[in-house]
């Protein structure tokens, strides 16, 4: 595919990765992704905003060759992670006069990660500008979306915000701009949940910082561009600022059916009390879907059998993931079963120190659940529904 024009002398020159299914050897990518890179040819200077993952280096080089780019003055490094910075060394080899523009912290990271020579850098402070002649780039420091060195770049005359990973989505598509808002909403929410949610307070600050800018186009580092920026800004404001909703997320594992029976009973009891439940059997669940469900949930109920005294390892993984993602949860409980003894509750509780939640009484069944266990699950459902009502969490 050819480089695509965004505005006269502004091109999208990055790569689409249709086949990638895992990021950071951790995050599922059901729809592939893209590594977006942008070329801006000003009247006196030319800038390349970010590069591409090294696996797709030749796509970027081909685009630059197709466009007849003989000179690049500035490589803007919004982010040091290698899916955007990894081809900087090759660009510097092809365009030896180019300088790398980065935050001071990003400079250090690019030296550490890619051995970019120190003399190649121009460091920029928040709101510094660089002129390309008839066009001006302004650099907006935006730390922790999602590394400490991240910045955004604003092209003043065209009102284009190059937003780095912030506001992006993992989608491989030939569409330059968002055409299917439903699909992109889902992918952007997954991306927010997995990448940005742990830094929610920084996301809030960065959203507030952008309020002073007129933005016609948002050009993120992954996924299609937004020619209606309010679509993604509104979604981010909701995910980052809104109260949690009347939702229980229930990840669980069952080995011989006891925990399964308890989960089914509790899910039905909550539904009868008008609480929405999102149930995830961790032996088959997509952890990206689990992360997305945590964006809006008020309560997490973890279901586990007891394995070697503790929780099932897959459940421990889900607890550690929820702890790392730091969602807006307000309440947590644990249900499950054991054969002869269990420290599952104590061990799971120790895995979620980041969650600032009220812990609701656990329900553990010895063997298959019986009448007293079902009564305890009814009580738990009552407590959850009542807490959600008291807080006024909307459906
Ligand atoms: Fe898309 Fe944080 O790299």
pLDDT single digits (tens) 210-228: 999 999 999 999 999 999 9
Q: Whose CA is closest to atom 3 on ligand 1?
A: 81
β pairing state of 46-49 and 38-41: antiparallel
pLDDT of residue 299: 98
CB 232 within 8 A of CB 336: no
Flag whether pLDDT at 26 surpasses 80.
Answer: no
- How close is the Cα of 111 to the center of ligand 1, in Å? 17
Flag whether pLDDT at 25 surpasses 90.
Answer: no
CB 103 within 8 A of CB 79: no
- Asked if the domains at 4-241 and 245-387 fall in one CATH topology, the answer is no
Flag whether pLDDT at 28 surpasses 90.
Answer: no
pLDDT of residue 22: 82
Return the residue matching tokens 């050819």: 2
- How close is the Cα of 4 to the center of ligand 1, in Å? 22
Q: Which CATH number fits domain 4-241: 2.102.10.10, 3.60.15.10, 2.40.110.10, 3.30.465.10?
A: 3.60.15.10
Flag whether pLDDT at 24 surpasses 90.
Answer: no
pLDDT of residue 258: 98
pLDDT of residue 5: 98
pLDDT of residue 350: 96
Which pLDDT tens digit goes with each residue over 317-376?
999 999 999 999 999 999 999 999 999 999 999 999 999 999 999 999 999 999 999 999
Averaged over 34-57, what is the pLDDT? 98
The CATH homologous superfamily to which domain 245-387 belongs is Flavodoxin domain (3.40.50.360)
276: exposed, middle or buried (Cβ count in 10 Å: 0-12, 13-18, 19+): middle
- How close is the Cα of 31 to the center of ligand 1, in Å? 16
pLDDT of residue 54: 97
- Measured distance CA(142)–CA(328) in Å, rounded: 22
- Measured distance CA(139)–CA(130) in Å, rounded: 9
Residue 32 φ/ψ, nearest 5 degrees: 70, -160
Work out which ligand 1 atom sits closest to the CA atom of 35: 1
Averaged over 283-303, what is the pLDDT? 96
Which residues, judged by CB distance below 6 Å to any ligand atom, belong to the binding site of ligand 1? 79, 81, 83-84, 146, 165, 221-222
Q: Which H helix or E strand runs over 307?
A: strand 297-307
Q: Take residue 188 and report the two structure tokens written for it.
A: 């952007």
Flag whether pLDDT at 303 surpasses 90.
Answer: yes
230: exposed, middle or buried (Cβ count in 10 Å: 0-12, 13-18, 19+): exposed
Say what percent of the chain tops pLDDT 70: 100
Work out which ligand 1 atom sits closest to the CA atom of 150: 2
34: exposed, middle or buried (Cβ count in 10 Å: 0-12, 13-18, 19+): buried
Averaged over 179-203, what is the pLDDT? 96
Averaged over 121-127, what is the pLDDT? 98
Higher-pLDDT residue of 22, 201: 201
- Measured distance CA(183)–CA(111) in Å, rounded: 37
pLDDT of residue 164: 96
Categorize the per-residue pLDDT at 259 as very low, low, confident or very high, splitting at 50, 70 and 90. Answer: very high
Domain ranges of the chain: 4-241, 245-387
The residues facing 252 across adjacent strands are 281, 303
Categorize the per-residue pLDDT at 27 as very low, low, confident or very high, splitting at 50, 70 and 90. Answer: confident
> Average pLDDT over the chain, rounded to whole?
97
């Amino acid at each position: 595919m050819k480089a695509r024009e965004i505005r006269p002398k502004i091109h999208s020159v990055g790569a689409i990765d249709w086949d990638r299914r895992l990021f950071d050897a951790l995050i599922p990518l059901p729809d592939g992704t893209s590594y977006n890179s942008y070329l801006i040819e000003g009247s006196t200077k030319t800038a390349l905003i970010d590069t591409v993952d090294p696996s797709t280096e030749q796509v970027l080089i081909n685009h630059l060759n197709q466009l007849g780019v003989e000179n690049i003055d500035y490589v803007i490094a919004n982010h040091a992670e290698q899916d955007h910075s990894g081809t900087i060394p090759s660009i510097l080899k092809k365009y030896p006069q180019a300088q790398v523009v980065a935050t001071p912290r990003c400079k250090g990271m690019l030296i550490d990660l890619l051995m970019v020579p120190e003399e190649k850098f121009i460091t920029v402070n928040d709101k510094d500008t660089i002129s390309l002649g008839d066009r001006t780039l302004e650099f907006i420091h935006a730390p922790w979306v999602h590394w400490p060195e991240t910045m955004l770049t604003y092209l003043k005359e065209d009102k284009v915000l190059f937003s780095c990973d912030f506001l992006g989505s993992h989608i491989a598509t030939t569409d330059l701009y968002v055409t299917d808002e439903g699909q992109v909403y889902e992918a952007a929410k997954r991306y927010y949940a997995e990448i940005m949610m742990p830094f929610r307070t920084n996301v809030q600050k960065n959203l507030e910082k952008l309020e002073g800018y007129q933005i016609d186009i948002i050009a993120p580092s992954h996924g299609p561009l937004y020619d209606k920026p309010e679509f993604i800004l509104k979604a981010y404001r909701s995910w980052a600022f809104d109260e949690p909703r009347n939702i229980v997320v229930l990840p669980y594992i069952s080995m011989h059916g006891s925990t399964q029976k308890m989960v089914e009973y509790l899910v039905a009891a909550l539904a009868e009390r008008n609480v929405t439940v999102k149930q995830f059997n961790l032996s088959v669940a997509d952890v990206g879907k689990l992360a997305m469900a945590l964006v809006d949930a008020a309560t997490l109920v973890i279901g586990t059998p007891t394995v070697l005294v503790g929780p099932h390892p897959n459940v421990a993984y889900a607890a550690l993931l929820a702890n790392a993602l730091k969602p807006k949860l307000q309440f947590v409980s644990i249900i499950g079963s054991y054969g002869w003894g269990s420290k599952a509750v104590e061990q799971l509780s120790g895995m979620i120190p980041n969650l600032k939640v009220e812990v609701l009484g656990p329900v553990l069944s010895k063997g298959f659940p019986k009448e007293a266990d079902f009564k305890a699950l009814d009580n738990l459902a009552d407590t959850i529904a009542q807490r959600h009502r008291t807080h006024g969490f909307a459906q």
